[in-house]
């Protein structure tokens, strides 16, 4: 028995070393952790359980039979993150460049299936040269099987992709399906075709960073939701995210204890909206003043900054926050903001997370480029997402709420349960100046003192529409509240909606305007 135990220990040592000490040390000099070190840092101490660690590939193409390693370039298993069960795969770049072949994919599929069976989050740490060319169709089949499971698991369990090295070609589509993508600044890359192919086909020279780096994907494409300064910082953010979300779609929004009084009122809220309706203000500050412990976990922080989305807690319960940002484009909605908001709203609805919307929106961003990019269909995505959502939906209109954007931003008409308005709220088809120029165009042009008449008519319009009294009289607003009352009233409203239970008409699925 002692000999067998020694033999097993030796086997484990060989398994754990991956592609060898020299290659691991080289990773360290590059500021990177090995695949197992990432797992060790991520999970609670002594909770990780490895699965299928002794698998090897079975290909003999192009001399591949001479390059066999235990685990076949990926470490898989499960463990606890802050006592929450999580499944994981971590690709090992020291073994065949972390390339995906038949058995490598089989290991990933195994943990994906287990995560779906038990209802637990699935985290994938991607660090791979892509498809293992020597294995041909078996490599492509592995990717296809992974994409299928990503799709079937969508909306059932949270899926998180962590990009910690290259992720190219077909490999990018799995992260593209998952709920959240994390990247490491100046260390991870994602692209369908690399710089060399682009140069050969398009005669265009582009760097890895400009083509598919963290900055590019977090600011321009929107593929990346979070960017970490290094690997540990990135994994810390993944842990923080997991604390806000449930393990599956059959769990309710997580509740944690808080010492922050539910009836806390912040006097600063009364002063946050400027007297000048055209002056911007800090919507993020407004959010932090309202939520528990002044703590807000923003998603897509650097993408489509005219809309703010993220997680917070109210009365200890996780909520999803959607808010217009008056600091950027005056808070208008454009193509990127509509995509960002729609995706986030649908995630929250899929995982039973109530939605809180703070509204200050003068409309959709005008322009020929927006029309050509499809603002109609993309704006409709957000409308669709809010309408489809059955979780508790609370709305606070802080200032402007004009035109179609008023409807889109979680209005009563799209199923908002309770809508509050601050005294500064302005709800109308359009702003006073534009409305007067249309309604009284002839009167103003024919007047002896057109500017005097225009100013008088604008003032009359403001008195009639640039306040929340008229919509409140029609029942489109449930209450006009003092800004300081926002936190306690939202918490009370959430408590009142705990047993909300509505279902949309039975159907295979809707046809969201993609």
Q: What residues in the chain have per-residue pLDDT under 50?
A: none
What is residue 274's predicted lDDT score, i.e. its pLDDT? 94
Based on the domain organization, do 168 and 285 belong to the same domain? no
Q: Let me know whether 53 and 169 are in one domain.
A: yes
Mark whether 286 and 210 lie in a shared domain. Answer: no
- Residue 254 forms part of a structural domain: no
In angstroms, the Cα distances linking 188 to 113, 123, 168, 331 are: 27, 17, 11, 31
Among the listed residues 50, 30, 37, the one whose alpha carbon sits nearest the alpha carbon of residue 166: 30
Q: Are strands 307-314 and 317-324 parallel, antiparallel or unpaired?
A: antiparallel
Task: Compute and round to an integer the Cα radius of gyration of the chain.
Answer: 26
Distance CA 237, CA 435 (A): 46
103 phi, psi to nearest 5 deg:
-80, -35
Which tokens in the block code for residue 405? 């954007």
Tell which residue, 341, 394, 333, has the closest CA to residue 362: 333
- 280 and 291 assigned to the same domain: yes
My answer on whether 369 and 341 are in the same domain is yes
What is the set of active-site residues? 169-170, 404-405
CATH code assigned at 160 = 3.90.226.10
pLDDT value of residue 356: 98
Look at residue 454 and tell me if it is in a domain. Answer: yes
Rounded to two decimals, the pTM is 0.94
Q: For residue 447, give every residue at least 6 positions away whose Cβ sits within 8 Å of its Cβ, in sequence order, or none.
A: 453
In a domain, residue 505? The reply is no
Length of the chain: 514
Name the residue among 490, 506, 180, 491 with its Cα closest to residue 351. 180
Per residue in 460-485, pLDDT (tens digit) is 887 777 789 989 999 999 999 999 99
Looking at the structure of the chain, the number of domains it has is 3
Question: 6 and 116 in one domain?
Answer: yes
In a shared domain, residues 111 and 231: yes
Q: Is the same domain home to 211 and 71?
A: yes
Same domain, residue pair 111 and 174: yes
Residue (of 92, 50, 48, 51) closest to 72 by Cα position: 92
Tell whether 262 is covered by a domain.
Answer: no
For 219-264, write each residue's pLDDT tens digit.
999 999 999 999 999 999 999 999 999 999 999 999 999 999 999 9
Q: 506 CB contacts (<8 Å, ≥6 apart)?
A: none
The reply to whether 72 and 85 lie within a common domain is yes
pLDDT at 462: 78
417 inside domain: yes
The answer as to whether 88 is a domain residue is yes
- In a domain, residue 218? The reply is yes
Query: What token pair was written down for 165?
Result: 């090295």
pLDDT on residue 488: 98
Asked whether residue 186 falls in the same domain as residue 39, the answer is yes
Residue 13, pLDDT score: 81
Report DSSP letters for 292-328, one per residue. Answer: GGG-EEEESTTSSTTEEEEEEEETTEEEEEEEE-TTT
Residue 48 lies in a domain: yes
Domain of 280?
A: 267-429+467-496
User: Do residue 461 and residue 471 come from a single domain?
Assistant: no
E strands, 82-213, where?
Answer: 84-91, 122-126, 159-163, 166-168, 180-184, 189-191
């Amino acid at each position: 028995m002692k000999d067998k135990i020694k033999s097993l220990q030796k086997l484990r040592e060989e398994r754990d070393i991956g592609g060898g000490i020299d290659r691991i040390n080289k990773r360290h000099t590059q500021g990177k952790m090995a695949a197992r070190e990432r797992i060790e840092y991520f999970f609670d101490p002594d909770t990780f359980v490895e699965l299928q660690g002794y698998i090897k590939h079975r290909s003999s193409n192009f001399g591949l039979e001479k390059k066999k390693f235990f685990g076949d370039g990926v470490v898989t298993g499960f463990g606890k993150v802050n006592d929450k069960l999580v499944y994981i795969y971590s690709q090992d770049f020291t073994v065949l460049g972390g390339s995906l072949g038949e058995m490598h994919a089989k290991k990933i599929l195994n943990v994906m299936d287990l995560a779906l069976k038990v209802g637990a989050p699935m985290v994938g740490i991607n660090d791979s040269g892509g498809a293992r060319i020597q294995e041909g169709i078996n490599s492509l089949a592995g990717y296809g099987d992974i994409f299928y499971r990503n799709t079937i698991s969508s909306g059932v369990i949270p899926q998180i992709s962590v990009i910690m090295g290259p992720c190219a070609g077909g490999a990018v589509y799995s992260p593209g399906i998952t709920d959240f993508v994390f990247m490491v600044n100046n260390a991870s890359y994602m692209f369908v075709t690399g710089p060399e192919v682009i140069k050969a086909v398009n005669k265009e020279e582009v760097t890895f960073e400009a083509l598919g780096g963290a900055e590019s994907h977090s600011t321009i494409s929107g593929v990346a939701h979070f960017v970490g300064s290094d690997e540990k910082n990135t994994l810390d953010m993944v842990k923080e995210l997991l604390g806000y979300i449930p393990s599956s779609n059959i769990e309710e929004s997580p509740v944690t204890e808080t010492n922050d009084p539910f009836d806390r009122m912040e006097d600063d809220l009364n002063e946050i909206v400027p007297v000048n309706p055209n002056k911007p203000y800090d919507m993020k500050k407004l959010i932090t003043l309202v939520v528990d412990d002044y703590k807000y976990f923003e998603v897509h922080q650097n993408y489509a900054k005219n809309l703010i989305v993220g997680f917070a807690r109210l009365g200890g319960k996780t909520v999803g926050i959607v808010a217009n940002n008056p600091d950027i484009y005056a808070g208008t909605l454009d193509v990127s903001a509509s995509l960002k908001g729609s995706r986030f709203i649908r995630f929250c609805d899929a995982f039973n997370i109530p939605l809180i919307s703070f509204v200050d929106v003068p409309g959709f961003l005008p322009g020929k480029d927006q029309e050509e990019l499809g603002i109609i269909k993309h704006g409709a995505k957000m409308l669709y997402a809010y309408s489809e959502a059955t979780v508790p939906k609370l709305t606070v209109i802080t200032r402007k709420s004009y035109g179609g954007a008023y409807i889109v931003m979680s209005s009563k008409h799209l199923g908002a349960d309770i809508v509050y308005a601050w005294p500064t709220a302005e709800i109308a088809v359009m702003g006073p100046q534009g409305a007067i120029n249309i309604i009284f165009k002839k009167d103003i042009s024919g007047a002896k003192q057109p500017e005097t008449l225009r100013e008088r008519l604008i003032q009359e319009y403001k008195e009639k529409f640039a306040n929340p009294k008229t919509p409140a009289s029609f029942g489109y607003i449930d209450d006009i509240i003092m800004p300081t009352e926002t936190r306690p009233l939202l918490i009370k409203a959430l408590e009142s909606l705990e047993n909300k239970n509505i279902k949309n008409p039975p159907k295979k699925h809707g046809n969201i305007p993609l």
